[in-house]
């Protein structure tokens, strides 16, 4: 279904703006919905309260609840594959248009698609870190240990709903066994930024540098599939707007930046990005 004429006009303006401009992209959960991963704040998304860092470290019961749910969600999330939107961003990077891809997503689908100029702002759910000795390991290895320690858990909870941060809706997690770090026995945590944690400074500085390097007369910032509710992404939009850099937001539903001087496109990200790839190709001079 095509968007309304007014939105279509804005979408056409945004495509024309980006046809010849390099840009920095900021992606959110809305980019991964076409891969079967639900988003947090889309028009149909129910209210969700992800576990905070403070809650996670508050005691064994909270970690048992987290890992019992995450064990089920990960077994499904890891089967998700990049969608046409992820692949379109790789083509735009190959064409020299995408200077840096900043993603708020932890699903690893940008990496799987082949993106190279990438900053995973909140980390990757496929990595695990020990909070005691800082040893890093893979989620796949931990998944095997969780399955061995909790035989039959998957089968008993086969019908639960997967949530966007890789866990599921499950109330009763009693009896779930959570192994510790294989090196020191310490507390294991997915190597992602929880609510209540700060994004590592070097990641923030890298993203700020990329936004600060944008020339208002020649470059742009493109936001894809994000409501910008979380400050970790919204700050880059505010920074670009203050510098006079054109900002295009492609998202279904309202965003935190709707009152700022930005170009807003109410559209699905995958289809719109494929249109952008075609627009960029058409704007390239003949060899």
pLDDT in tens, 57-84: 999 999 999 999 888 888 777 889 999 9
Does 14 score more than 70 pLDDT? yes
Do 106 and 166 form a contact (C-beta atoms < 8 A)? yes
Does 122 qualify as catalytic in the annotation? yes
Q: Domain extents for the chain?
A: 5-283
Do 33 and 42 form a contact (C-beta atoms < 8 A)? yes
Instruction: Quickly list DSSP for 107-123.
Output: S-HHHHHT--SEEETTE
Report how far apart, in Å, the C-alpha atoms of 235 and of each of 6, 232, 250 are. Answer: 28, 6, 17
Say which CATH topology domain 5-283 has.
Rossmann fold (3.40.50)
What is the distance between the alpha carbons of residues 61 and 53, in angstroms, rounded to a whole number? 14
Amino acid 153: pLDDT? 82
Does 151 score more than 90 pLDDT? yes
Burial annotation 114-145 (CB, 10 A radius, 16+ → b, else e): ebeebbbbbbbbbbbbbeeeeeebebeebbeb
Percent of the chain past pLDDT 70, that is, above it, reads 87
Amino acid 7: pLDDT? 42
Q: Which of 71, 122, 157, 267 is catalytic?
A: 122
What is the distance between the alpha carbons of residues 221 and 25, in angstroms, rounded to a whole number? 6
Flag the least confident range among 22-36, 163-177, 269-283.
163-177
> CB 156: neighbour CB atoms within 10 A?
10
Would you state the structure tokens that stand for residue 77, as one six-digit string?
A: 């999330």
What is the distance between the alpha carbons of residues 126 and 111, in angstroms, rounded to a whole number? 11
Does 10 score more than 60 pLDDT? no
pLDDT in tens, 107-126: 999 999 999 999 999 999 99
Quick one: pLDDT band at residue 166, thresholds 50, 70, 90?
low
Amino acid 27: pLDDT? 98
Amino acid 6: pLDDT? 41
Amino acid 45: pLDDT? 47
Amino acid 164: pLDDT? 52
* Longest Cα separation, the chain: 65
What is the distance between the alpha carbons of residues 96 and 80, in angstroms, rounded to a whole number? 27
Amino acid 168: pLDDT? 60
- Tell me the mean pLDDT in the region 211-217: 98
Amino acid 141: pLDDT? 96
Does 160 score more than 70 pLDDT? no
Does 256 score more than 90 pLDDT? yes
13 vs 207 pLDDT, higher one: 207
- Which residue reads 């700020």 in tokens? 208
pLDDT in tens, 99-109: 999 999 999 99
Instruction: Quickly list DSSP for 221-280.
Output: EEEES----SHHHHHHHHHHHHTT--EEEE-SS--TTTTSS-EEE-S-HHHHHHHHHHHH
Flag the least confident range among 62-76, 128-142, 210-224.
62-76
- Tell me the mean pLDDT in the region 252-258: 95
Amino acid 2: pLDDT? 39
Mean pLDDT of the chain: 89
């Amino acid at each position: 279904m095509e968007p309304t004429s007014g939105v279509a006009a804005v979408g056409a303006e945004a495509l024309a703006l980006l046809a010849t401009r390099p840009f920095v992209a900021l992606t959110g959960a809305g980019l991964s919905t076409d891969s079967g991963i639900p988003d947090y704040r889309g028009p149909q998304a129910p209210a969700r309260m992800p576990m905070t860092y403070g809650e996670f470290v508050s005691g064994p019961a909270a970690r048992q609840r987290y890992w019992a749910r995450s064990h089920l969600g990960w077994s499904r999330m890891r089967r998700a594959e990049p969608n046409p939107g992820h692949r379109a961003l790789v083509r735009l990077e190959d064409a020299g248009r995408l200077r840096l891809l900043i993603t708020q997503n932890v699903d690893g689908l940008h990496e799987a698609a082949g993106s190279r100029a990438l900053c995973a702002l909140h980390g990757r759910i496929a990595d695990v870190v020990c909070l005691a000795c800082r040893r890093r390991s893979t989620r796949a290895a931990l998944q095997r240990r969780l399955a061995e320690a909790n035989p039959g858990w998957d089968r008993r909870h086969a019908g639960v709903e997967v949530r966007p941060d890789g866990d599921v809706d499950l109330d009763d997690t009693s009896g779930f066994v959570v192994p510790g770090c294989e090196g020191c026995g310490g507390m294991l945590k997915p190597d992602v930024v929880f609510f209540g944690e700060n994004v590592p400074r070097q990641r923030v500085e890298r993203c700020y540098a990329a936004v600060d390097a944008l020339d208002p007369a020649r470059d742009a910032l493109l936001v894809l599939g994000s409501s910008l509710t979380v400050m970790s992404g919204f700050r880059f939009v505010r920074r670009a707007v203050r510098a006079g850099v054109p900002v295009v937001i492609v998202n279904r539903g309202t965003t935190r930046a709707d009152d700022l001087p930005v170009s807003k496109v109410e559209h699905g990200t995958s289809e719109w990005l494929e249109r952008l790839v075609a627009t960029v190709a058409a704007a390239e001079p003949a060899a």
